[in-house]
Amino acid sequence: EAQLVESGGGLVQAGGSLRLSCSPSGFPFDNYAIGWFRQAPGKEREGVSCISKGNGPTYYADSVKGRFTISRDNAKNTVYLQMNSLKPEDTAVYYCNRGITIGASYFPQDYWGQGTQVTVSS
């Protein structure tokens, strides 16, 4: 059964950094894109970044472009989200997801991790 486990969240001051990890299992990791999403209280879940299968192209939401970097280590079956220059508005539960990319579009499949809380204080 496909599973994804996030880790690395925490409390950080504005301007600080965190690195999230997503560890998928139960499926051929190299064959799928992985996306990061976040959901703040009272808001809908939104896409943050994704990386195509293999070591393919990466994509970012405008709100995080230039501050966040997604990468994958296929040998370790892990996807990372390096988050720098964090802002209070980045506060949310962050989820990773298995999906596919067609061109620059990401299509999430119904495989989600349990989420990891990121809190940025001002």
What pLDDT, on a 0 to 100 scale, did the predictor assign at position 88? 97
Q: What own/partner pairs with CB < 8 Å and gap ≥ 24 does 40-47 have?
A: 40/89, 40/91, 40/92, 40/93, 43/92, 45/95, 47/106
Read off φ and ψ for residue 42, nearest 5 degrees: 75, 5
Residue 29 scores a pLDDT above 90: no
Average pLDDT over residues 43-53: 96
Query: With bands split at pLDDT 50, 70 and 90, how would you rate the model's confidence at 54?
Result: confident
**Which candidate, 8, 28, 21, places its Cα nearest to that of 118?**
8
